[in-house]
Structure 1
Amino acid sequence: MAELLADKRSPNTCRAYRKDLQDFFSTMAGEELSQGLILQFLQLDRFTALSIVLEYKAHLIQRGLAEATVNRRLSALRSLVNYAHQVGCCDWTLVGVKGEKVIKYRDTTGISPEQFKRMLQQCDSQTLRGKRDYAMLCLLWDNALRRGELISTKIQDFDPEGKRLTILGKGRGTQRESVALTPSSIAAIEDWLTARVESGKGGPLKPQDPLFSSLNRGTVGRPLHPASLERIVRLIAQQAGISKRISPLRLRHASITAFLDASGGNIRTAQRLSRHAQLETLQMYDDNRQEMQQEASSILANLRK
């Protein structure tokens, strides 16, 4: 189990993987996840193991779980069994266990540029916290950064002279990539760092320190927790009078959609901005932005008048 988890680079992936396996064993065996329980399962004969997994799949469906959740939990089991098969711990796989068909759709709605401007206006430029939050919002919008990309950056990753920021992108392993910064983002980051030094909070700055640190008592100077960034963005949106629940991911969606609107649907450049590996993902943003299905339905409705 430990060896398999070590192959999962993201802490979030490790937590989700362990949670999915725990659900399987607690559901089908009524016991907590353990090394002994895993070995007991892997040592079953193929017919018995497949029967148990298929029964578990039926149980997930009966619980009313979404198809994507069912498939993710089955995928966790397949990964476990495949790894065990590779190292010689079992002589069968779960190739015959198929997942549920999922219609690909992603809600890419976010907020308008005008609403985002209202969010920026909520950041008090006279306070240390306001300067930090303003700089983070600028990066989230201008560079469509993911939550993890923002909170994992260090001071040494910020290059104001070269106008670049080095980030650890999603699915890149340990490989880091450089993104270009806008003058306004650079100014906001420099303003935050200067104020941070002058405040004396967290001690002298070091290159390895987080670019955006916590300002809460007891955690000053430490990296922002993902939940903290989520809370900061949500509260600022509420203060701006935005009723929709806003998160860093929603801001990323909003910035990509806003760029597509402003550029007339330049998907290729949008891919450079968003750093999506698949152009197909950007196509979903563009389709949602243009409401193509509604346009087609309207044309058909006019034809029957």
Structure 2
Amino acid sequence: MTEKLYFRGENVIVNTVNAVRRFIDYLKYERNYSEKTLQGYSLDLEEFQKYYTAIDETLDWKTIDGDVVRGWMESMMDRGNSAASVNRRLSAVRSFYRFALAEGLVEKDPVRMVKGPQKEKRLPGFVRDDDMQALLDSRMWNMESFNDVCERTILLLFYETGVRLSELVSLNDNMVNLETMSLKVTGKRNKQRIIPFGEELKDAIIYYIGIRDSEVTRLDDALFVDIKGKRLDGAAVRYRVVKNLSRVCTLKKKTPHVLRHTFATTMLNHGAGLESVQKLLGHESLSTTEIYTHTTFEKLKEIYKVAHPRQ
């Protein structure tokens, strides 16, 4: 038997097992889930029910085991569903069983030991070295224009230090030590770190500050300001980065975070150790930094294909 539940006039068929109905009611009335989310959960549970009754019509929510759940996952993957889609549907079933177990409606949770498929980690996009060199070439800019000098300095700072967008817009003059050539930034969870930089960025900052102080009246201690003297916010910096990266590359994403990826990839490609890059980026876990090794490996494969005579 089946029963119809109504969400905004649309029929959603769910199993009439009392546990399923109570679960949907719990989400609706006690957790205040949206009708769209309730519909999604209902459809996911219905799909699971269709699967297990098709393989064995004697099965029900109480007799299902982990193998049945794994088989359902495999069937979805075989039909071309992404790992994210499978995990979303698995999450609905997992939530149902947690509820049913807590309410004493089932005696076991067959999903407890089931792991969903791993999502494919997308390799971070980065700008090629020659494109960055072309973009940062001073001949590409009007070095007498405050806006041009400011934008070039921002790009160079991202590229040479790998700072986050939030860290860059928070910079004040006193956080830049030109003598030691280092930045003091405040990262996630208010953790501070010191990042070194080179002579090129030092010269660029000195030049920028000179033009800034002669043409702009700053309204606070911000390093990077607009022509009115106001601190540049994240949206303003993001706009400038996207605009200028579009001059040299065709990446789909041209955000400040791409320049952070570019910094990490460039460092590793030129011999920096993984732990050193981790500290420079402010990553708590080395595994977060390890994604960039995949990028460098892809570059190695390209070099191998070009250089090896048997390829």
- Which category of TM-score, normalised to the shorter sequence, fits these structures? 0.5 to 0.7
> SS where residue 190 of structure 2 aligns?
coil
Task: Select 2:143's aligned residue among 119, 125, 149.
Answer: 125
Following superposition, the deviation at residue 57 of structure 1 comes to: 11
Mapping of residues 79-228 of structure 1, within 5 Å: 100-121=116-137, 122-169=140-187, 172-203=188-219, 205-206=220-221, 210-215=222-227, 220-226=229-235, 228=236
Structure 2 counterpart of 1:258, one-letter code = T
> SS where residue 184 of structure 2 aligns?
strand
Unaligned runs of 5+ in 2: 1-5, 9-25, 49-75, 95-101, 105-110
Q: CA RMSD in A?
A: 4.8
> SS where residue 173 of structure 1 aligns?
helix
Following superposition, the deviation at residue 158 of structure 1 comes to: 1.8
Distance 1:236 1:185 in 2: 18
User: How many aligned positions are there?
Assistant: 241
- Quick check: 2:125–2:251 contact (8 Å CA) kept in 1? no
Distance 2:225 2:255 in 1: 18
Q: Please say if 1:285 is aligned against 2:295.
A: yes
Q: Please say if 1:274 is aligned against 2:281.
A: yes
Structure 2 counterpart of 1:123, one-letter code = W
Following superposition, the deviation at residue 235 of structure 1 comes to: 1.6
Structure 2 counterpart of 1:181, one-letter code = F
- Quick check: 1:257–1:289 contact (8 Å CA) kept in 2? no
Of structures 1 and 2, the one scoring higher in RCO (CA 8 A, sep 6+) is 1
Distance 1:251 1:58, change over 3 A: farther
Distance 2:169 2:85 in 1: 27
Structure-2 residue corresponding to 1:83: none
Structure-1 residue corresponding to 2:30: 41
Distance 2:88 2:174 in 1: 37
Distance 2:230 2:190 in 1: 24
- Quick check: 2:83–2:119 contact (8 Å CA) kept in 1? no
Structure-1 residue corresponding to 2:65: none
Distance 2:82 2:114 in 1: 15
Structure-2 residue corresponding to 1:87: none
